[in-house]
Amino acid sequence: MSSELISDLIRSFLASSKGSIEALTRAFSCRGAIERDAVTLYTFDGKTKKEETYEGSCFFLRASMEYSSPQLTLEELEGLVAARLLEVCANHRLNSTTFEPREIDEMVEALQRPPKGKIVPFILETDDVEPDRYSNNPLRNSIVMSGQSAFPVANVTTEGLELDKHFIEKYDGSLISKDEAALVEQNLREIRRYVDFVDSVKREALNRILRDLSLELRLPQLRMPLETLMNEEKGGPLHSLVQASHRNYKAIEALYLLMGRSMKNKTLLPTVPHSSKGFGSKRAARGRLVFSNGSLATVRVKYQTTNLYPNMADPNDLSFARCKDNFELAANRFTDYSYEATPSSPQFALYALRSPEDGSIWHGVGEYAGYEILRSYASVQAAFRRNLIFAEMKKSRIPEQTPVMFNLDPGKMWKHPVYGNIDAGIGCVKDLSSLSHEVKLVPIPTRLREPMER
C-alpha cells in the first residue's frame, strides 16, 4: 500500500469513526493519575520471543487474534488495522486539535512503524479455546484423530498433525490459499507447541502485510488465561480470582447475577476443570456446583462429545469436540486454588479482569457475536472496579474506570470479494488493498450491565 492509500485510509477513518476517536481520548483524559504496576507483554525478534515492559500509566487497547486456526483471517486483519488506526488517531488527538496535511503525513509514518505513545495497542490471545472451534482449521482431521479436539489449545501439540487434504480442496480460495497451506506445513515441521506454531504462521502473514501494504501490525502480545496460570505461583493474581469466585455462596451468587445466570440449577462454573484425559472444552463440559449447608461442597463435571461452530464458507460444516469423561472435585480444590494441582479454564469475564486493558475492540457484536459475553464482561468489570465484588482483593493499582469498548461495524466488515465471508485467510484475497478503503469503529454503549441492575 502506498503512502497515499494509507493517507486515504486515515482520512476515511477520521470521517467514519470520529465518535470512537473522541471516546478513546475522553477515556484517556478522564481517568486521572494511574499507579498501576508495569505491564509485561511479549514481542518477537525474528523467531525469538522476548518480554517488553510498559509503564503502567499507558492506556492499553486490546485487539485479538484466534488460536482456532493458523491462517490470519480477514476479520483478525481488520481488527488489528482498526486498533492501529484508533491508536494513531487518538495519540495525535491528545496533542493536537487539527488534522492538517503535514499531520496526516506524520500519522502515515506512525502506522508504518511500531506503536509509540501513551496509547498502546496489544493482542490478547485466548489460549483456552478448542483448536478447531469454527471449523476453519486445515489440520482438522488429524486434530480429531490425535484426540486433541476437546483440548484447550495451550495443551495441544503439533506431533501427528497434518494438513487435511479434503479441507484444502474444499476450501481452496474461500478459507485458505495454497501459499497459506504451504506456510502451515513448513511451520508444522519446525514447531512442536501448537500455540507457538500458530503465532509463527500468523506472524509471517503480518510480515506480508508490512511488505505489501506498509502497515506495521506486529503488536505486543499476551496469552491468557492458561499461560498466565501456568506461569503464576499459587496465590498469584489470577489464582486469587479463581479462589475468590468460589469463596462462599454469596460470592458465587454475585458472579451469577453479573453474568445473567440463575442460581436455580447452578450449572455455570466460574472455572471449568480440565479432565485428567486432557479435555478442557468449555462447550463440551457440563457442570454443576453442589452446596451443603450454604457452602460449596463439590464441583461435578461431565465431558461429552459436542458440536462447536461452523465456518462462514459452509454454514453446515460444524466442527466438534470429541470427548467423554465424568468426575467430581472437592470444593477446596478451588477455594485453595492451584493450577498445577487442578488445571482449569476460568470464564472470560473473570480472567479479563487481569488483562491490562483500558479499552477493547470487539468484532461485529450484534451480527457475528452475541451480546451475552459482552454484557457479562462489562458487568463484571464495572462491579470489580467499583469494589462490589472480590472486595477483599487488593485493587488499588487497577484503574477504577470500566474499559471503553468499540465494535467493528457489522455492516461494513471486510469480506471475501467472492464468497462474502470474514473468516477467509488473507491469502485468499489477491489484492488486499482493495479491502482497505474503510474501517469503521463505533463505541459500544456502557449501559450493558443488565444482569447487575436486575
Which cell is 333 given?
480444590
pLDDT (tens digit, 9 = 90+) per residue, 417-441?
Answer: 999 999 999 999 988 888 767 899 9
How high does pLDDT run on average in the chain?
92
Highest mean pLDDT among 71-80, 91-100, 357-366: 71-80
Give 451's pLDDT tier (boundaries 50, 70, 90).
very low
* Torsion, Cα of 315, 321, 322, 324 (10° steps): -130
Give 47's pLDDT tier (boundaries 50, 70, 90).
confident
pLDDT (tens digit, 9 = 90+) per residue, 295-331?
Answer: 999 999 999 999 999 999 999 999 999 999 999 999 9
Q: Which residue has the higher pLDDT, 60 or 44?
A: 60
pLDDT (tens digit, 9 = 90+) per residue, 193-215?
Answer: 999 999 999 999 999 999 989 99
Structure confidence at residue 139 (pLDDT): 98
Structure confidence at residue 452 (pLDDT): 46
Average pLDDT over residues 89-115: 92
Average pLDDT over residues 324-351: 97
Among 27, 14, 97, smallest CA distance to 359 is for 27
Least confident of 20-34, 107-121, 280-294, 384-398: 384-398
Residue 453 has pLDDT above 50, yes or no: no
The Cα–Cα gap between 377 and 349 comes to 4
List of E strands, 270-369: 271-273, 285-292, 295-310, 318-330, 344-346, 359-363
The Cα–Cα gap between 365 and 442 comes to 11
Average pLDDT over residues 222-238: 96
Among 108, 60, 118, smallest CA distance to 216 is for 108
> For the whole model, what pTM was predicted?
0.95
Among 84, 86, 26, 66, smallest CA distance to 406 is for 86
Structure confidence at residue 33 (pLDDT): 67
Residue 224 has pLDDT above 70, yes or no: yes
Residue 1 has pLDDT above 60, yes or no: no
Average pLDDT over residues 75-84: 97
Q: Which residue has the higher pLDDT, 130 or 5?
A: 130
pLDDT (tens digit, 9 = 90+) per residue, 248-302?
Answer: 999 999 999 999 999 999 999 999 999 999 999 999 999 999 999 889 999 999 9
Is 24 in contact with 90 (CB distance < 8 Å)? yes
pLDDT (tens digit, 9 = 90+) per residue, 350-397?
Answer: 999 999 999 999 998 876 656 788 999 999 999 998 889 998 775 556
